[in-house]
Amino acid sequence: DGEVVHCIGCGAKVQTNDKNALGYTPQSALEKGLKSGEVYCQRCFRLRHYNEIAPVSLSDDDFLKLLTSISETDSLIVYVIDIFDVNGSLIPGLHRFVGHNPVLLVGNKMDVLPASIKKTKVRDWLRQRANAAGIRPVDVELISAKTNFDVDRLLDQIEKYRHGKDVYVVGVTNVGKSTLINSVIRRSTGIKELITTSRFPGTTLDRIDIPLDDGHSIVDTPGIIQPEQMAHHLVGKELNLVTPQKTIKPKVYQLNPEQTLFFGGVARFDYETGDRKHGFTVYAENNLYIHRTKLINADAFYDKQLGHLLTPPSDESRVADFPALERHEFKTTQKSDVVIEGLGWVTVPSGVVVSGWAPKGVSVLIRPAMI
Ligand code: GDP
């Protein structure tokens, strides 16, 4: 008891509490391992037995060390983001750590977007957001790691931009980086040669290298938790109710001025002022409950129904912990999307005043309409 055990695969300190953190080992596996004298963390176990990468997150400190070590390399950086949660995908300070290395931006989860959305617009939007964050990607690729859409194309682009160097794949948690790496592993022939031994300098963490033909590697890195994700306000099944799982079916609401839409209890949209009734198109998870009410009744309705009619939060026990919604007002001068990061967006006409509401920290912003 109290003795520190290290994983013999990656050297991480073994712990049995936090599934998503380094060194997690189920209690039963730890006991078995101690008997046989070989303790593997769950991540290394899965890698050894199933050639499968499990997501893992790092503390800010270790992550900074990791980024610093990447800035000292001569490599291509593949930066994976969730197209549905660009703000929640941002790695704080990434631009300082890429050094002189080129960044290939990868927008994941394309499978949730309806076919009517123009890819060039999605690409432009992502590039603009990257630029605003101080990153100038050499290119932007749009993929779905889940359905493998354009993953082969991404691998071709990586080959084109890496110029014979190593490739570091970075991303915050929940963007689908592990899903992508697993897809890449399935595509690469040298599965058995997956390497887990060379350490990131200055961290407790070993890198996972997928060997390339010329002696170089694609290196998976741990994710970091981005606290501004909607996902962090949700638990268990709540997340699946909010995160689009399948291709979104847009829904049109004919709203009069001073009408409100609630998206479960996690977000809200108000059509405040405008000349007349307009159609507002909602892009969100198909099964998310959307409730229409009058703006004047909206606050009282929310207070009364949060955790009841308006879920998530899943029930009353979760209401106390649930962050208050914050209001962001916009006046449109062209057809626009009001984006609630991690949830989706509402397409609104020109010449109206609207508000988007989301939990404090989750960003709400406006862009020219994507359709
Ligand atoms: P990581 O934390 O970045 O490694 O993310 P994971 O690979 O664990 O994925 C996080 C969540 O996003 C999981 O629920 C995945 O099923 C889901 N996901 C990953 N890639 C995609 C994708 O291309 N499309 C969709 N719809 N979901 C995805």
219: domain CATH number is 3.40.50.300
Q: Give the atom of ligand 1 at the shortest distance from the alpha carbon of 143.
A: 23
pLDDT of residue 19: 86
Q: In a 10 Å sphere around its CB, with 0-12 CB exposed, 13-18 middle and 19+ buried, how is residue 43 labelled?
A: buried
Q: Give the atom of ligand 1 at the shortest distance from the alpha carbon of 172.
A: 3
**170-222: per-residue pLDDT in tens?**
998 889 998 999 888 888 755 555 666 566 666 666 677 888 888 899 998 88
Are residues 214 and 66 located together in one domain of the fold? yes
Separation between Cα atoms, residue 191 and residue 258, nearest integer Å: 58
Are residues 72 and 197 located together in one domain of the fold? yes
Domain residue limits at 114: 57-226
Closest residue CA from atom 20 of ligand 1: 176
Are residues 250 and 155 located together in one domain of the fold? no
Return the CA Rg of the chain: 22
Phi-psi sector, 128: left (phi>0), alpha (psi -120 to 50), beta: alpha
Q: Identify the domain boundary among 208, 226, 244.
A: 226
Are residues 65 and 213 located together in one domain of the fold? yes
If DSSP codes are grouped into helix, strand and coil, which group holds residue 356?
strand
CB 110 within 8 A of CB 72: no
Are residues 192 and 241 located together in one domain of the fold? no
Q: In a 10 Å sphere around its CB, with 0-12 CB exposed, 13-18 middle and 19+ buried, how is residue 120 labelled?
A: exposed
pLDDT of residue 193: 55
Positive or negative torsion for Cα 27, 28, 29, 34:
positive
Strand 223-224 and strand 57-58: the pairing is: parallel
Is the shortest distance between the CB of 101 and ligand 1 below 6 Å? no
Are residues 66 and 187 located together in one domain of the fold? yes
Is the shortest distance between the CB of 107 and ligand 1 below 6 Å? no
pLDDT of residue 202: 63
Strand runs labelled E in the chain: 57-58, 75-82, 103-108, 139-142, 166-170, 208-211, 217-220, 223-224, 251-255, 259-263, 267-273, 278-283, 290-294, 325-331, 336-340, 344-348, 353-359, 364-368
Are residues 135 and 186 located together in one domain of the fold? yes
Of 102, 91, 75, 59, the C-alpha closest to 171 is 91
**Is the pTM value of this prediction over 0.95?**
no
Are residues 194 and 249 located together in one domain of the fold? no
Are residues 116 and 209 located together in one domain of the fold? yes
Are residues 209 and 257 located together in one domain of the fold? no
ipTM over the 0.95 cut-off: yes
CA of 177 to the centre of ligand 1 (A): 7
Closest residue CA from atom 24 of ligand 1: 109
Are residues 252 and 275 located together in one domain of the fold? yes
Q: At what angle do helices 151-162 and 177-187 cross, to 10 degrees?
A: 80
Q: What is the dihedral of CA 140, 145, 147, 150, to 10 degrees?
A: 30
Per-residue pLDDT of the chain (371 residues; tens, 9 = 90+): 557 888 877 778 899 998 888 889 999 999 999 998 888 888 888 877 777 777 777 777 777 788 888 888 999 999 999 999 998 898 878 887 788 899 999 999 999 999 999 999 999 999 999 999 899 999 999 999 999 999 999 999 999 999 999 999 999 888 999 899 988 888 875 555 566 656 666 666 667 788 888 889 999 888 877 878 888 888 888 988 999 989 999 999 999 999 999 999 999 999 999 999 999 999 999 999 999 999 999 999 999 999 999 999 998 889 998 999 999 999 999 999 999 999 999 999 999 999 999 999 899 999 999 88
Are residues 268 and 321 located together in one domain of the fold? yes
Is the shortest distance between the CB of 226 and ligand 1 below 6 Å? no
Domain count along the chain: 3
